[in-house]
Amino acid sequence: MTFLRLFPLRFVLFPGQTVSLQVFEPRYLTLIEESMAADEPFGIALIESGPEVGGNATPHLVGTTATIEEVVPLGDGRLAVSARGVRRFRIAQLLYDHPYLAAEVEYPVDEASEPSEALLEQVSRNYEQMMRLRHTAQGSWARDVEMPDGPGALTDAIGAAALESGDVQRLQTLLETLDVRRRLERAGDILTTLLETTHRRAAAAVAQRWGTLERLN
């Protein structure tokens, strides 16, 4: 078991994803200070019950460790913290003897269950299309889309891209799924909805720029 400081949020962090936090509560200022001093990650976990600010929250048992990349003082004792998700953890025991919530955790590994080539190809193709449509919606263009390395990383990238949907419970289920084939299936379902939404957004952006609704492929 490993000791891990916890930062419960109404947010699901996936490995490889960056997150920006404004930290102002004394307990979390202490958490950031101690994590930096010890050069250790902290854990972000979706709140299952309780408040995000000013109270005690109970997190889901599976979350993601986050390494601190940058800390910028904002004044009034607040900090802007940039961190990156690294790997999943599972809480074995919550600890209440610190100013912040902490836990003894273990690090689960993906279960060996290879997805079919057809499934991987379809999800990869949809992900690439979705990323190109995002560039279109933003008025930019990308010659190449950087693809995640392997099915596990692909599912995490899809989960991170889908955070705007606000369906945190569905994303938490994706985070907790260790069977790679099953996780890719679930990510593929999420991506189908995300692709439709992104397509509409890109079409609307093109129409606004050019005054006409064009077909996007």
CATH number, domain containing residue 81 = 2.30.130.40
Same domain, 25 and 47: yes
Q: Is residue 100 part of a domain?
A: yes
Residue whose tokens read 């129409």: 207
Domain end marker among 85, 106, 127: 106
Q: Is residue 215 part of a domain?
A: no
- Please state, in angstroms and as integers, the Cα–Cα distance from residue 198 to each residue in 159, 195, 207, following that order: 15, 5, 14
Smallest Cα–Cα separation from 56: which of 77, 82, 25?
Answer: 25
Residue numbers of the domain that contains 165: 117-210
Number of neighbours of residue 181 by Cβ within 10 angstroms: 17
Smallest Cα–Cα separation from 6: which of 36, 34, 44?
Answer: 44
Number of compact structural domains in the chain: 2
DSSP H helices, the chain, are 26-38, 117-137, 151-161, 168-176, 180-210
Domain end marker among 73, 106, 139: 106
3 state SS of 165: helix
Per-residue pLDDT of the chain (217 residues; tens, 9 = 90+): 899 999 999 999 999 999 999 999 999 999 999 999 999 999 999 999 987 777 788 999 999 999 999 999 998 889 999 999 999 999 999 999 999 999 999 999 887 677 888 999 999 999 999 998 888 877 776 677 889 999 999 999 999 999 887 789 999 999 999 999 999 999 999 999 998 988 888 888 777 776 654 455 5
